[in-house]
Amino acid sequence: MNIKFIQSCLSLAFLSLAMTTTALADEGMWLLNRPPRDLLKKQYNFEPTPTWLEHMQKSTARFGGGSSSSIVSADGLVMTNHHVGSGQLKKLSTPKRDLLLDGFYAPTLAEELKCEDLEVRILMSIEDMTDRVNAAAPQGASAEQAATAKRVEISTIEKAAEALTGLDCQIVTLYQGAMYHLYSYKRFTDIRLVWAPEQQAAFFGGDNDNFEYPRFNLDTTFFRLYENNKPYQTDHYLRWSSTGATEGDLIFVVGHPYSTNRLYTVDHLKFLRDTSYPTILQKLWRREIHLLTFSARSYDQQRMAIDALHGTQNSRKAFVGSLAGLLDPDVFAKKVDSENKLRSAVKNNLKYFADWGDAWDQIAQAQRTHKEIYVRYTALKTRRSVIRSELFDIANHLVQLADELPKADDKRLDHYHDAQLDSLYLSLFSPAPIHEALEIANIESGLSYLAETFGADDPLVRKLLDGKSPRARAELAVKKTRLGDIDIRKRYAAAGKTAIDASTDPMIALAVAIDPEARALHKQYETQVEAVEAQAYAKIAAAQFAVMGENIAPDATSSLRLSFGTIKGYTESGEKIPAFTNMGGIYNRSASRNNKPPFDLPQSWIDHKDQLDLSTPFNFVSTPDIIGGNSGSPMVNRNGQVIGLIFDGNIHSLAWGTVFSGKNARAVGVDARAIIEALRKIYGAIALADEMMQGHRK
Amino acid sequence: MNIKFIQSCLSLAFLSLAMTTTALADEGMWLLNRPPRDLLKKQYNFEPTPTWLEHMQKSTARFGGGSSSSIVSADGLVMTNHHVGSGQLKKLSTPKRDLLLDGFYAPTLAEELKCEDLEVRILMSIEDMTDRVNAAAPQGASAEQAATAKRVEISTIEKAAEALTGLDCQIVTLYQGAMYHLYSYKRFTDIRLVWAPEQQAAFFGGDNDNFEYPRFNLDTTFFRLYENNKPYQTDHYLRWSSTGATEGDLIFVVGHPYSTNRLYTVDHLKFLRDTSYPTILQKLWRREIHLLTFSARSYDQQRMAIDALHGTQNSRKAFVGSLAGLLDPDVFAKKVDSENKLRSAVKNNLKYFADWGDAWDQIAQAQRTHKEIYVRYTALKTRRSVIRSELFDIANHLVQLADELPKADDKRLDHYHDAQLDSLYLSLFSPAPIHEALEIANIESGLSYLAETFGADDPLVRKLLDGKSPRARAELAVKKTRLGDIDIRKRYAAAGKTAIDASTDPMIALAVAIDPEARALHKQYETQVEAVEAQAYAKIAAAQFAVMGENIAPDATSSLRLSFGTIKGYTESGEKIPAFTNMGGIYNRSASRNNKPPFDLPQSWIDHKDQLDLSTPFNFVSTPDIIGGNSGSPMVNRNGQVIGLIFDGNIHSLAWGTVFSGKNARAVGVDARAIIEALRKIYGAIALADEMMQGHRK
């Protein structure tokens, strides 16, 4: 669950403010079926062919809940970031085999470790369904009616497509509802771990260096897709570049940027700046300290919490940066200015004004409502409540399932539609270990947050605590629940409402107690905020199209996108930062920090230093437009060959949420040459390096 | 400033909830002039003589703003905790001489390092002024009028006493105003550092082990008092016990517990539980992450922030624990019950009810007002605002001074009375280094907090930011202010209001901008909360006296107190925790955590392990009633000889704020024998060890 958490936070963080009147040089997360042909031709004299585009599409994959990855051999080898795979590494660890600490390598297929609850999806086709979805909303419908009608139609289309193709089919909403595309994915659930470095090598410099540059991180992990218990065989895989790239080269990033919101109005941004981000940060600061103190008690606890801790630190840093962006008066003034221009253009055209003129006030009203319910809604929200516990999530799902499954598909809450059930069950019935100590601490912390925020005499808080202290209530719920047993979960899922109503399980009781208010707040959010925003932003998007033309990429929506740019250093406080670091640099940086954590080197790197070519390029910065969710995206050259792997953006790229700029904001990648050098000389993973260089296993 | 911060937070944290109807075994922080003679006689067959009490009083000292210490040689040697002295150690450090990292020892007087802005005070006399102060409040005066009249009288008494004795004289309010005692202190400002261990030894286990037990901390530092450039000569010093203490021994703690509030009503506690503590914790969590990330950037920054970080972690842990206590329904039920009993007794007596019956409702009303202003007031409060910067504090003092000094003494804000000016100037004109990077980061963080909490469009926030981002405003204020120059500060202090009004200094501008609202809120707090509480609690204290007798110690008020108890282990989750650890234990604990920070040993401890008697008692637990501010208190036996040094309470002692219990809550001390063993065998500080054993320098 942690990966998802990182992404959703990051994506929010990377929110974009300014609406530029013309797209800047390398701006845009483009659709694979609507690439920026003119721009690429004009600027880089590059024309992507349909074959090139299809190959990129089918050689990349959505990893887990929403990260990115690529297929890098004909035998289904998958490359992603270590920080994307670390949730799985944790689950595959045991007290005796700490994969995060020690890394892992399976020289043979037989030694690969099967992940228990991971899914990877390859996008097989894209179809435009805009007309069908729009036609579903009756003329003159209210925001809520229109949204419902469209949801029904979307669900119908998805189901029909699944029945026809056997693929995993989802409608992606683009340009705030100006376009609806049907994405059909081939879904893999048998995925096995092939190789991972020590976390020290992947996350060298820790939270300290996160979002910084220069960097020295081998943030890379390999998995393998299986079909029918055999490695997935495909011609669509990315070839490894034998030469790598150099400064100034045109490169592409293909991945799943999670979400941007470049249309957001000034009022909406003020809501984020003054309400949403501060509330989120309060929770992140609190949670980070909670996880730090929990981790400090013992190595065992450290191992349990490390993934959640990194996710929290990552999000915290992203939100601090994003808030700093919103508190920059220059950025805000620019946004106000561009909004004023667009609104003037709309005001000066009678038809425009009649169609879209009220959109901004509607957004403002939605923000007022959202502000009223925000703290309480986000604290209680099902699946994202402040009670961060696997067992509580399971209980919550079971309670929701019992309510939702009997309903018609289109009436259900999100996450409980038929098309989503396979994924839901995979996570619900996962045999991944659940750590009792962390569960207790997390539930205690969540219950205490509710008491701190709403007061211990709040009726819901009293109901949840049930006459106990947060600690005692958490201990009871975790120690007495039977939801650790997968068969029990299955029985609840099968029996539905009757079983929930009859349950005396204390974890189920917690979920049942929180459900009514969470549900009511969600309804209010859905109808008075989300639906209003959806309609109003569709108007603003339409106005933007009308005034500025369509040559703008749609906001990121976690669907597959193509970004482009060049490898390029930058200047920081007058100092020139070169584009590339090299492998020798990690030894220097470690020495300069007395080899102390988080700058300590794994033993393997110390032992094999002499064998390494220290001048091998290690990390590099480049200009493509990326955002959270792009973690694990391959970086390829004109020939579609792998030259690197996205793993981060520098601190200035946090402002890409606000205005895209190639001045000193950069995407940060691992160089493909460093991956091969490390595999061969540090990790002795010769077969793996050969597989990538040759494109298939021996 | 950090030490003060630790204390004020801790003291709040150690707040006490339950009003027990009879004092429990070892409960009570007793007045030196009203010791619990009967209790000591009955329970321990011990009768403190006036000589014994006077010797204890004059052999202990208030250290800095409010910690504890003792005189341990005829040549003015002072013992306190390393964590109490660490602020001074930081100030005495330079880039080349890191006293926190390396420790310090001056074998000769000439090598001792003079502290720039430290004061130590020895209590020379106590006089009862209750009748005089009470007589000052006219019959039928309002709460505010009475408080003002008493303040005037207190100031008059203090001034007259100072003029007469040349001592530093302060009225201490006891039993919520039922008693007023005049405390006269001999004040020292020439204090020199004699010895400190490495922080690794003093704070072994770091935040991780703070408030935990078993422990292995040499949390000890020695200073020396000087008078006329020579070591202070005195007969009032504590002799060192040659044998130490053993489990079951009666021991005493003499020190300055900062504050307890055992009279607080249920409504008041709900305010703390639901409003005050959660707000404080939000700031502490935020500040801790801020300091952690600042420290992680470089060793230099780490050194700048380490003291503030430890203070913040200490407070955070204390508040988390205290809040957990308030969220324990058993504790709350006990409090409700004892309050109901007292209120019943008052209700059942016509005279009592007429005199005191309205007190509880008055407290409730004060809490409602306090709640309304709390977040804003505590964010802006002069001297304790969220802008944690030395330079901003200086600017603030100068702005306040300009307003306050022209007023009659009794009309001034607290901290600006004549009796307080010497201390104020000492800190205001301190040449202690100010760290630009930390100043900028702290001001940025404070300004950002205000924007997060009140919104960036809040008029005060806009005024403070002055059209800039928090970072830019902070950089401007720190880089362009001239307040780094002590002469400039002196000029402002001398010139008063005219200079402030004419100033273009950007730090002064920040202080001037925040002043009007901070002042208005303070006025509201003073009149509608503080004064109301003072009157109402005086009534409740009087009612308690009437109903339950006077045999109860007054709440702690940072004045000198005597606690007693025994050395005693306890049981934790069924496991027996022995009272003593020994010096060998630190090596085992370090090894069990792979010798990694915060469990790494200083090189000196590794090098001298073989010379040590590893069975030497190191830390121990005991039952005396202590609280924040007791840090640095000597622990003595019946003969008044030093057997240890208080440095912490275990996690359960955080609940001593709520109910005193000797079950498993314990005060934690350094054993006197470990101090000598370490001085002789690890640090080669033979002369220092000899001085204590012999009672004077050679």
Q: In chain B, which residues touch A (CB < 8 A)? A: 206-208, 270, 273-274, 277-278, 281-282, 285-286, 288-289, 293, 296-297, 299, 316-317, 323-324, 326-329, 448, 451-453, 455-457, 465, 467-471, 593, 596-597
Burial class for B690, CB neighbours closer than 10 Å (0-12, 13-18, 19+): middle
In terms of pLDDT, which residue wins out, A44 or B546?
A: A44
Would you state the pLDDT for residue B149? Answer: 92
Residue-wise pLDDT for A386-406, tens only, equals: 999 999 999 999 999 999 999
CB-nearest partner of B274 from A285, A455, A469:
A455
Please answer whether residues A213 and A666 qualify as being in contact, where contact means their C-beta atoms are separated by less than 8 angstroms. yes
Indicate if the pLDDT at residue A297 is higher than 60. Answer: yes
Please state the rounded mean pLDDT for residues A519-543. Answer: 93
| A-chain residues near B300 (CB < 8 A) | none
Residue-wise pLDDT for B280-297, tens only, equals: 999 999 999 999 999 988
Residue-wise pLDDT for B186-244, tens only, equals: 999 999 999 999 999 999 998 788 888 999 999 999 999 999 999 999 999 999 998 99
| A-chain residues near B207 (CB < 8 A) | 293, 296
Would you state the pLDDT for residue B8? Answer: 34
Please answer whether residues A430 and A117 qualify as being in contact, where contact means their C-beta atoms are separated by less than 8 angstroms. yes
- CB atoms B448 and A596 under 8 Å: no
Would you state the pLDDT for residue A430? Answer: 92
**Percent of chain B residues topping a pLDDT of 90:** 75
* Entry field: residues in chain B: 698
| A-chain residues near B324 (CB < 8 A) | 448, 469-471
CA distance to partner chain A, nearest, from residue B453 (Å)? 7
Q: Nearest-CA neighbor of B187 among B502, B476, B511, B425?
A: B425
| A-chain residues near B286 (CB < 8 A) | 281-282, 285
A205 → chain B, closest CA residue: B296
Please state the rounded mean pLDDT for residues A216-242. Answer: 97
The DSSP result for A324-379, as a single string, is HHHT-HHHHHHHHHHHHHHHHHHHTSHHHHHHHTTHHHHHHHHHHHHHHHHHHHHH
Per-residue DSSP letter, A655: G
Would you state the pLDDT for residue B260? Answer: 85
Please state the rounded mean pLDDT for residues A164-191. Answer: 93
- In whole angstroms, how large is the CA radius of gyration of chain B? 25
Residues 6+ apart with CB under 8 A from B532: B143, B362, B363, B365, B366
- CB atoms B327 and A448 under 8 Å: yes
Please answer whether residues B443 and B477 qualify as being in contact, where contact means their C-beta atoms are separated by less than 8 angstroms. yes
- DSSP SS3 for A643: strand
Provide the whole-model pTM.
0.77
Q: Which of B286, B289, B458 to mutate to test the interface with A (most CBs of A within 10 A)?
A: B289
Would you state the pLDDT for residue B154? Answer: 96
Please state the rounded mean pLDDT for residues A11-18. Answer: 29
**Percent of chain A residues topping a pLDDT of 70:** 94
Asked if residue B27 is part of any domain, the answer here is no
B280 → chain A, closest CA residue: A452
Q: In chain A, which residues touch B (CB < 8 A)? A: 206-208, 270, 273-274, 277-278, 281-282, 285-286, 288-289, 293, 296-297, 299, 316-317, 323-324, 326-329, 448, 451-453, 455-457, 465, 467-471, 593, 596-597
Indicate if the pLDDT at residue A19 is higher than 70. Answer: no
Please answer whether residues B316 and A289 qualify as being in contact, where contact means their C-beta atoms are separated by less than 8 angstroms. yes
Asked if residue B675 is part of any domain, the answer here is no
Indicate if the pLDDT at residue B13 is higher than 60. Answer: no
Residue span of the structural domain in which A407 resides: 374-548
Please state the rounded mean pLDDT for residues A564-587. Answer: 90
Per-residue pLDDT band for B660 (boundaries 50, 70, 90) equals low
Would you state the pLDDT for residue A438? Answer: 96
A469 → chain B, closest CA residue: B328
Per-residue pLDDT band for B10 (boundaries 50, 70, 90) equals very low
Q: Write the secondary structure of A521-562 as one string of H (helix), E (strand) and C (coil).
A: HHHHHHHHHHHHHHHHHHHHHHHHHHHHCCCCCCCCCCCCEE
Residue-wise pLDDT for B51-98, tens only, equals: 999 999 999 999 998 899 999 999 999 999 999 999 999 999 998 999
- CB atoms B293 and A469 under 8 Å: no
Taking 3-state DSSP, the helix, strand and coil percentages for chain B, each rounded to the nearest 5, stand at 50, 15, 30
Residue-wise pLDDT for B565-582, tens only, equals: 999 999 865 579 999 999
Give this complex's ipTM.
0.77
Please answer whether residues B84 and B221 qualify as being in contact, where contact means their C-beta atoms are separated by less than 8 angstroms. yes
Determine the residue type at B486.
I
Helix-then-strand count for chain B, H and E? 28, 21
- CB atoms A270 and B457 under 8 Å: yes
Task: Tally Cβ neighbours within 10 Å of residue A135.
Answer: 11
Asked if residue B487 is part of any domain, the answer here is yes
Would you state the pLDDT for residue B62? Answer: 97
| B-chain residues near A453 (CB < 8 A) | 278
- CB atoms B329 and A471 under 8 Å: no
Please state the rounded mean pLDDT for residues A196-220. Answer: 93
Burial class for A432, CB neighbours closer than 10 Å (0-12, 13-18, 19+): middle
Indicate if the pLDDT at residue B671 is higher than 80. Answer: yes
Indicate if the pLDDT at residue B489 is higher than 50. Answer: yes
- CB atoms A207 and B270 under 8 Å: no
Cα distance from N-terminal residue to C-terminal residue, chain B: 35
- DSSP SS3 for B250: strand
**Which two tokens mark B259?**
């504050």
- CB atoms B448 and A324 under 8 Å: yes
- CB atoms A452 and B323 under 8 Å: yes
In terms of pLDDT, which residue wins out, B555 or A395?
A: A395
Residues 6+ apart with CB under 8 A from B523: none
**Rounded distance between C-alpha atoms, residue A448 and residue B327, angstroms:** 8
- The whole-angstrom distance between residue B150's C-alpha and the CA centroid of its chain comes to 25
Q: Nearest-CA neighbor of A115 among A437, A427, A559?
A: A427
Per-residue pLDDT band for B175 (boundaries 50, 70, 90) equals confident
Element (H, E) at B491: helix B486-495
Per-residue pLDDT band for A208 (boundaries 50, 70, 90) equals confident
Per-residue pLDDT band for A130 (boundaries 50, 70, 90) equals very high
Would you state the pLDDT for residue B22? Answer: 38
Would you state the pLDDT for residue B318? Answer: 85
In terms of pLDDT, which residue wins out, B546 or B389?
A: B389
Would you state the pLDDT for residue A6? Answer: 35
Per-residue pLDDT band for A147 (boundaries 50, 70, 90) equals confident
Phi, psi of A168 (to 5 degrees): -95, 110
- CB atoms A453 and B278 under 8 Å: yes
A294 → chain B, closest CA residue: B208
Would you state the pLDDT for residue B661? Answer: 62
Residue-wise pLDDT for B24-63, tens only, equals: 468 889 999 999 998 999 999 999 999 999 999 999 999 9
| A-chain residues near B208 (CB < 8 A) | 293, 296-297
**Rounded distance between C-alpha atoms, residue A636 and residue A245, angstroms:** 9
CB-nearest partner of A274 from B299, B448, B456:
B456
Asked if residue A301 is part of any domain, the answer here is no
**Rounded distance between C-alpha atoms, residue A658 and residue A261, angstroms:** 9
**Rounded distance between C-alpha atoms, residue A181 and residue A172, angstroms:** 5
Please state the rounded mean pLDDT for residues A409-415. Answer: 87
Would you state the pLDDT for residue A573? Answer: 58
Top mean-pLDDT range of A28-42, A363-377, A543-557: A363-377
Which residues in A565-601 are b (16+ Cβ under 10 Å) and which e? bbbbbbeeeeeebebbbbbbbbbebbeebeeeebbbb
CA distance to partner chain B, nearest, from residue A456 (Å)? 7
- CB atoms A278 and B597 under 8 Å: no
CA distance to partner chain B, nearest, from residue A690 (Å)? 38
**Rounded distance between C-alpha atoms, residue A38 and residue A48, angstroms:** 10
Would you state the pLDDT for residue B550? Answer: 61
- CB atoms A324 and B471 under 8 Å: yes
- DSSP SS3 for B600: coil
Please state the rounded mean pLDDT for residues B126-145. Answer: 89
Residue-wise pLDDT for B180-194, tens only, equals: 999 999 999 999 999
List strand residue ranges (DSSP E) for B598-689, in order.
617-622, 634-636, 642-649, 667-671
- CB atoms B274 and A208 under 8 Å: no
Determine the residue type at A512.
V
**Rounded distance between C-alpha atoms, residue B173 and residue A528, angstroms:** 56
Indicate if the pLDDT at residue B491 is higher than 50. Answer: yes
Lowest mean pLDDT among A556-560, A579-583, B659-663: B659-663
Helix-then-strand count for chain A, H and E? 28, 21
**Rounded distance between C-alpha atoms, residue B27 and residue B30, angstroms:** 9
Top mean-pLDDT range of A24-28, A329-333, A635-639: A635-639
| B-chain residues near A282 (CB < 8 A) | 282, 285-286
Would you state the pLDDT for residue A660? Answer: 65
Interhelix angle A299-326/A277-296, nearest 10 degrees: 160
CA angle centred on A586, ends A302 and A649, rounded to 5°: 75
Would you state the pLDDT for residue A644? Answer: 98
Please state the rounded mean pLDDT for residues A347-367. Answer: 97
Asked if residue A83 is part of any domain, the answer here is no
Domain count, chain A: 1
Would you state the pLDDT for residue A72? Answer: 98
Q: Which of A272, A465, A466, A469 to mutate to test the interface with B (most CBs of B within 10 A)?
A: A469
Residue-wise pLDDT for A469-501, tens only, equals: 898 999 999 999 999 999 999 999 999 999 999
CB-nearest partner of A324 from B455, B457, B469:
B469
| H helix runs in B549-602, sequence order | 583-592
Would you state the pLDDT for residue B140? Answer: 86
| H helix runs in A142-276, sequence order | 143-165, 199-202, 206-209, 266-271
In terms of pLDDT, which residue wins out, B541 or B452?
A: B452
CA distance to partner chain B, nearest, from residue A88 (Å)? 26
Indicate if the pLDDT at residue B18 is higher than 70. Answer: no
- CB atoms A286 and B288 under 8 Å: no
Asked if residue B445 is part of any domain, the answer here is yes
Cis amide bond preceding B214, omega within 30: yes
Residue-wise pLDDT for B241-262, tens only, equals: 989 999 999 999 999 999 888 8
CA distance to partner chain A, nearest, from residue B620 (Å)? 21
| B-chain residues near A597 (CB < 8 A) | 596-597
- CB atoms B289 and A293 under 8 Å: no
Residues 6+ apart with CB under 8 A from A217: A201, A202, A203, A204, A205, A209, A619, A647, A648, A670
Q: Which residue has the tokens 């420790």?
A: B103
Please state the rounded mean pLDDT for residues A619-634. Answer: 95
The DSSP result for A394-405, as a single string, is HHHHHHHHHHHT
**Rounded distance between C-alpha atoms, residue A163 and residue A688, angstroms:** 38
**Percent of chain B residues topping a pLDDT of 70:** 94
Task: Tally Cβ neighbours within 10 Å of residue A45.
Answer: 9
In terms of pLDDT, which residue wins out, A23 or A680?
A: A680
Indicate if the pLDDT at residue B524 is higher than 50. Answer: yes
CA distance to partner chain A, nearest, from residue B273 (Å)? 7
Indicate if the pLDDT at residue A680 is higher than 80. Answer: yes
- CB atoms B281 and A452 under 8 Å: yes
Element (H, E) at B109: none
| B-chain residues near A469 (CB < 8 A) | 324, 327-329
